[in-house]
Amino acid sequence: MTEDRARTDNSIVVDAPIDLLWDITNDVESWPRLFSEYARAEILHREGNTVTFRLTMHPDEDGISWSWVSERTADPATYTVRSRRVETGPFAFMDIFWEFTPADGGVRMRWVQEFHMKPEAPADDAAMAEHINRNTRIQMELIRDRVEARARSAT
């Protein structure tokens, strides 16, 4: 990690058709049913393959419901997505890259997050990277299980 940028890189293989995984993970409105951490996903604007939306998390242990606006652009030709937080909250910036590639056993879903915490944030870059890595694994496993169940029920 450099002084002004932290990076996490996580992936998981999902045993499902790439188009099913792509469609489910890019349906932002359904994210509260896909991810365990989101209470609400509100679409603010849509133009082509770009969507601007507000995510609201379930309250944390202190009762705080974190919320922010992000902009996400999906490229179905390359099965990649680029996203950035518009309302950054405790982050100086947060950029996210998703990619879906064929792999043994299904499709590798990969999320790369690059960010930097503001000086007044409750966590520094290293602590946030540790939190993101831990939570990303939980969310990826949940998504894998839900998408694989959908794929099995479709056959």
- Please give the residue range of the domain that contains residue 149: 6-153
Q: How many domains does the chain have?
A: 1
1 falls within a domain: no
pLDDT in tens, 100-155: 999 999 999 999 999 999 999 989 999 999 999 999 999 999 999 999 999 999 87
Residue 50 pLDDT greater than 80, yes or no = yes
Predicted confidence at residue 4, as pLDDT, reads 84
Predicted confidence at residue 68, as pLDDT, reads 96
- Position 54, amino acid: R
12 falls within a domain: yes
87 falls within a domain: yes
36 falls within a domain: yes
50 falls within a domain: yes
Q: What is the pTM of this model?
A: 0.93
Contact 48, 71 (CB under 8 A): no
Domain of residue 15, CATH code: 3.30.530.20
Predicted confidence at residue 3, as pLDDT, reads 60
